[in-house]
Structure 1
Amino acid sequence: MSSADTASAWLLVVLCAVSGAYCLRQVRRSGGAAAGEAVMAFGMALMAVPLGDRDGWQALVLGAVFCAAALHAVWLLRGGVHHAHHLVGSLAMAYMSLTAAAGHGHGAGPSLVTGLLLLYFAGYVLLGGARLVTAGGDAQGGYPGGYPVASAELSRACRLAMGMGMLAMLLMM
């Protein structure tokens, strides 16, 4: 791994860890809804740590954590289809972990699954970026639901950062 790749990996680690810390801070305010995002962000930070070749057990442990997160996301789907992104993200992380454990990363080109995930997260990032740019509070300085402007925009920015991190990790496969 070159020094530029190592620096990029560490920047991704910091970005994901900061997003995870913010989500963890929001858990009480959101009634626990941000817990899944915090787990994903911290898991992404762990996966991005530039350790060189990972031993199989490390990737398998992360894969198990993300499979559990996927089951939690399935449970969240009871509350509405808007939780489907958590399921896709959890399954993508499990896929990357298990692919790394099997030693199939950095092949001749992206697999069909990797390509589909790249398309999904590229669209998610573009849409999320457009929503963040066009977001605006109401005349009282807040958003519907009682969130202050800064909190709602920061939450969107964290989701966007995690989407970009996912896209970066998929591109490195």
Structure 2
Amino acid sequence: MHGPAVSGWLLVTLCGATGAYCLVRMRSCAGRARETAGGEALMGLGMAAMAVPSAMSALPRWVWVMYATVFGAAAARALWPAPRGIRHLHHLVGSLAMVYVAVVMRSGAGAQAGHPAAGVPLLTGGLLAYYAVYVLRSGVRLIPAVAPAGGAAEVSGSRPELAPACRLAMGLAMLAMLLTL
């Protein structure tokens, strides 16, 4: 990821902690909630790995291909079996966004210092708009007076109130990653 090293390491920490929490949450979930937690763990840990500041580790181009392959497989998994709601659609968009970031970063892996790779402006803008709306919507849902009555029933586990906060954190991290393209 391009940008200051401090913000990169903060993203690594935030996404890594979120991904680790989602892994722990998987143990106390079953069915769709477990599948959702697993998808969120993959996204969080993958975003943490991709956010490592490029100044600290000049990653070879094959690493970006590996990221694109892993998240391409996650996108295919989100399509199979048939989509089951908005959360499934969000995982599909998130996986495809990670593929896009990996492809853009791969194309810029050999770029000269000061000339980072740029993505397709229309696609980047569309993803930025999607994640801006997602973050605002997720943030509003954290306010108890506005949250839907059955909102907490969506996630089973020992600490369901943390799952929406994790989703908000990952949405913010994706927004930050897309801003650096």
Q: Same fold (TM over 0.5)?
A: yes
1:44 aligns with 2:54: no
CA contact (8 A) 2:19 2:41 kept: yes
- 2:139 maps to a residue whose letter is G
Structure 1 residue 78: Cα displacement = 3.5
Structure 1 residue 14: Cα displacement = 0.4
Runs (5+) with no aligned partner, structure 1 = none
TM-score of the aligned structures, taking structure 2 as reference length: 0.81
Structure 1 residue 59: Cα displacement = 0.8
Runs (5+) with no aligned partner, structure 2 = none
Secondary structure at the residue paired with 2:28?
coil
Secondary structure at the residue paired with 1:18?
helix
Report what 1:120 is aligned to. Answer: 130
The answer to which of 31-40 and 92-101 deviates more is 31-40
Q: Which string of whole-angstrom CA distances, capped at 9 and with x for unpartnered residues, describes residues 82-105 of structure 1?
A: 310000000000000011112288
Calculate the aligned-residue CA RMSD, in Å: 2.9
- C-alpha distance in structure 1 between counterparts of 2:122 and 2:129, whole Å: 11
Q: Identity, % of aligned pairs?
A: 46
- C-alpha distance in structure 1 between counterparts of 2:86 and 2:148, whole Å: 25
Q: 1:16 to 1:118 in 2, by over 3 A?
A: same
- C-alpha distance in structure 1 between counterparts of 2:5 and 2:84, whole Å: 40
How many residues are matched? Answer: 168
Higher relative contact order (CA 8 A, sep 6+): 2
CA contact (8 A) 2:28 2:156 kept: no
1:1-173 correspondence to structure 2 within 5 Å: 5-31=4-30, 32-33=34-35, 34-52=37-55, 53-75=58-80, 77-103=82-108, 106=116, 111-134=121-144, 143-144=152-153, 147=156, 151-173=159-181
- C-alpha distance in structure 1 between counterparts of 2:117 and 2:142, whole Å: 35
Q: 1:162 to 1:76 in 2, by over 3 A?
A: farther
Structure number having the greater helix percentage = 1
